[in-house]
Amino acid sequence: MRFGIDLPPQIKVFGAFFIYSFTMGSLYPRLPAIQTAMNVGEGALGLALIGAALGTLISLTFAGPLIERIGYRRTLLTAIPLLSVFYAIAVWAQGPLAFFLLLMPVGITIGCIEIIINLEADRVEHAIGRRIMNRAHAFWSFGFFSAGMVGSFIAQTGISPQLHLAIMVPVVTVVSLLLLGRFEPAEHRAGGSTEQVPRFARPTGPILVLVGVCLSAMILEGAGIDWSAIYMRNEFGAAPFWAGFAVALGAGAQAVTRFFADSFVERWSPVLVARTLLAISGIGALIVFFTPVWWLAYVGLALIGVGTSALFPLAMSAAAQRTDRPAAINVAALAQISFVSFLLGPPLLGYIAEHFGIRWAFGVGIPLVLLGLLMADALGNRRQGKMVPAQ
């Protein structure tokens, strides 16, 4: 007997993205308290956070065949509750080295979930004949926003991160069973490429240009997730709720933009949309870097959320449309090289924040925005048309 609500396939995809990111997002509003408890600077905390990124990279590289063997349904229904358990264990770390080690299984689990839900979103949008990928990632951001708000309220009550993350385990488990208890993987795309994607897909010059287009989005999004709560506490003396709210605000602005991004791209060219988003994120980064006023800092963080919303999906689409190599190899090359920025982002931004000030965690994104504006033509000017329903 299978539990859960019987939902249309695209709603199950949206639910998977939501509950997965809600589980992830519970940690980040609590980073100020975790940093204080460990009595470490931003540099050491940034090095500890690399544990999750390293685990994710390992998982993305090697977990695919194991997931195929276990089955997508069984893996997904196990991995999301298990992720909440690993987070609940990780926050008991007494120092950055232990935090790093305990975040590695978190990252390995994240990689497995990422493989399943992104592949499922691609297959479902092919089956129903409508684009849902950006909307699916919007629900990821909605989940992160919800976790940020819940985490902010809990932080303000004085409940410890350890108790908070422990409470999330039964909550995530029950919601996962309700939303995904009847999950069945969609069929493989008909006529797709069967060429084996290498463990490491060599990037070509055009792929590196696409990395340049979306690099600022990845760095600024990472800064918002990892450092915005600490930024509000350090620079403006924000109370725990208002520090955590900074994480939620960026995710919420990103979610709303992602929800409508597919229609924007269909109406205007990818280059125009990308340049608009880059300009918005650049303005947001400038505000966060320079403002002496707390409410303007929130405006800047919201603009960063808007600006970082759809640049990576646009770059992925451009990589898939290239004809120099099979699409799967170009997509893998962009994803793997881009992930290096997530791997290096936490320690790099932590080092910069500790030695030059927390504002520089956002300031380093400004020249990267200019780089993206210069390279945006690589996305192509063709509007993305409607998908043809599968026969």
- Closest to 150 measured CA to CA, from 169, 173, 176, 168: 168
**Is the pLDDT score of 194 beyond 70?**
no
Can you give the pTM of this predicted structure? 0.82
Q: Answer with the one of 185, 218, 250 that is the final residue of a domain.
A: 185
H-helix segments, 96-238:
96-128, 133-157, 161-180, 205-236
pLDDT of residue 388: 38
- Closest to 168 measured CA to CA, from 155, 156, 151: 151
* 322 within some domain: yes
Do both 268 and 331 map to the same domain?
yes
Structural domain containing residue 225: 199-382
Do both 55 and 112 map to the same domain?
yes
As a whole number of angstroms, the distance between CA 302 and CA 246 comes to: 9
* 191 within some domain: no
Q: Answer with the one of 156, 185, 214 that is the final residue of a domain.
A: 185
Q: What is the mean pLDDT of the chain?
A: 85
Lowest mean pLDDT among 1-15, 48-62, 169-183, 224-238: 1-15
Do both 170 and 216 map to the same domain?
no
Count of domains observed in the chain: 2
Do both 107 and 242 map to the same domain?
no
pLDDT in tens, 127-140: 887 777 778 888 98
* 302 within some domain: yes
If you search the block for the tokens 């460990």, which residue do you land on? 38
As a whole number of angstroms, the distance between CA 331 and CA 115 comes to: 13
Q: Answer with the one of 145, 161, 185 that is the final residue of a domain.
A: 185
pLDDT of residue 387: 43
Do both 22 and 165 map to the same domain?
yes
As a whole number of angstroms, the distance between CA 244 and CA 229 comes to: 5
Do both 121 and 248 map to the same domain?
no
* 1 within some domain: no
Q: What is the DSSP letter of 387?
A: P
Write b or e for each residue in 20-40: b if 16 or more Cβ atoms lie within 10 A of its Cβ, otherwise e.
Answer: bbbbbbbbbbbbbbbbebbeb
Do both 258 and 280 map to the same domain?
yes
Do both 208 and 177 map to the same domain?
no
If you search the block for the tokens 């975790």, which residue do you land on? 34
Instruction: Give 391's pLDDT tier (boundaries 50, 70, 90).
Output: very low
Do both 177 and 206 map to the same domain?
no
As a whole number of angstroms, the distance between CA 281 and CA 260 comes to: 17
Do both 359 and 255 map to the same domain?
yes
**Is the pLDDT score of 8 beyond 50?**
yes
Q: What is the mean pLDDT of residues 234-244?
A: 91
